[in-house]
Amino acid sequence: MVVGVLALQGSFNEHIAVLKRLGVKGVQIRKPEQLQNVSSLIIPGGESTTMAKLAEYHNLFPALREFVKMGKPVWGTCAGLIFLADKAIGQKTGGQELIGGLDCTVHRNFFGSQIQSFETELPIPGIVAKEGGPPSCRAVFIRAPAIIEVGPDVEVLADIPVSSSETANSNPAIQSEEESTKSEKKVIVAVKQGNLLATAFHPELTADTRWHSYFLKMVPEVEDGTSAIVSTSSVDLTFTDRSMIDLPIFQ
């Protein structure tokens, strides 16, 4: 298994380092023809407008869209989530080109500017069901987007409560639970649809490898049409046996 990581800008080296810890080869992707040599692709976090301009300069968009249409697993983190969305709002003047394929609407910079970046414990029951480990993961949100609307075929893997100040300027940007006397407002931050996985946060910046393990197991799922699991005879994808020393993020 060879996983491509789009290496135009952003945290591509961090993703490759996590893949190496899991015994999987990650390769940098900068040209359209390089996509022919990988079984899946990670689009990392970074500055989405800059990444879009570089992708356009290298004529990558047609190849990336074809890669998605072929049904190969693609995971977008933060800026990568924006790339995969069918629709994005809150963009800079002129907008940016998208790859599309993920039936959702993303609000760019939903959580605010760089100084409003934050970390939180995020409940991930769907990931825990497949990967085990603690009931939540440490989620790092850096000038992060949020998913404000999803289609019927999109599986929500994680959402997060938001304050009224965060939603004041983005009315449709909230998912409310059924009204009782008090309703908790939440916004979606992780989804899966077929061969596509997307997270608004950065799993590559923590010691928790469960998101990468979950993504790697999507390769045989897509190829076989089953929930087949990557063999662990030579690749250790377990979470519980690993060191829990976090990387020095926001220390």
Catalytic residue among 15, 131, 166, 202: 202
Catalytic residue among 131, 149, 166, 204: 204
Query: First vs last Cα of the chain: how many Å apart?
Result: 35
Catalytic residue among 15, 78, 131, 166: 78
What is the Rg, in whole angstroms, of the alpha carbon atoms belonging to the chain?
Answer: 17
The answer to whether 202 is a known catalytic residue is yes
Closest CA relative to residue 156, chosen from 129, 189, 123: 189
**What is the CB-side half-sphere exposure of residue 193 using CA atoms within 13 A?**
20
Q: What is the DSSP string of 73-110?
A: -EEEETHHHHHHEEEEESPPTT-------EEEEEETTT
Contacts (Cβ under 8 Å, ≥6 apart) of 143: 109, 111, 112, 113, 114, 116, 117
The answer to whether 15 is a known catalytic residue is no
The answer to whether 212 is a known catalytic residue is no
Among all residues, which ones are annotated catalytic? 78, 202, 204
